[in-house]
């Protein structure tokens, strides 16, 4: 999904190959903040292209292996835009959160997802 960022409004990135899960996360974000820009990408390359015109990013949800994500072009692109990252998946759960990312354990529900959104709003 190619979305145009609206100045002053939150912007979120979702990168995962599981389209139904990505759409569910996107729908929850839009329900929480109808004015937000939500970018959904099926892979890292697609995400990097989608991020090119984005100046500020609030939060990214990714199903990336923590070792592959750390120091990657996508990690740099998110950080350059001031974004925080939430990793999903068993590899992320086994590694755990650190200063560069948080982890959303699966299966997750709307309340767990909302907790991440509210945490970013307060930061």
Q: If DSSP states are collapsed to H, E and C, what string results for 95-118?
A: HCCCCCCEEECCCCCHHHHHHHHH
Average pLDDT over residues 84-103: 91
pLDDT tens profile 12-50? 999 999 999 999 999 999 998 898 999 999 999 999 999
Q: In the numeric block, which tokens belong to residue 26? A: 């996107």
Confidence of residue 2 (pLDDT cuts 50, 70, 90): very low
pTM of the model: 0.90
The superfamily CATH assigns to domain 11-122 is Response regulator (3.40.50.2300)
Closest to 36 measured CA to CA, from 60, 56, 6: 6
Q: Do the Cβ atoms of 85 and 58 come closer than 8 Å?
A: no
The Cα-based distances of 78 to 31, 70, 109 in angstroms read 23, 11, 25
């Amino acid at each position: 999904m190619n979305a145009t960022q609206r100045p002053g409004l939150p912007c979120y990135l979702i990168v995962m190959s599981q389209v139904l899960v990505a759409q569910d996360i996107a729908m929850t974000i839009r329900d929480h903040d109808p004015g937000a820009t939500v970018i959904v990408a099926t892979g890292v390359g697609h995400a990097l292209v989608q991020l090119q015109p984005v100046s500020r990013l609030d939060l990214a949800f990714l199903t990336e292996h923590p070792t592959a994500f750390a120091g990657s072009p996508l990690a740099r692109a998110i950080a350059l835009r001031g974004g925080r990252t939430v990793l999903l998946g068993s590899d992320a759960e086994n590694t755990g959160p650190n200063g560069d990312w948080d982890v959303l354990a699966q299966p997750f529900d709307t309340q767990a997802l909302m907790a991440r959104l509210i945490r970013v709003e307060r930061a």
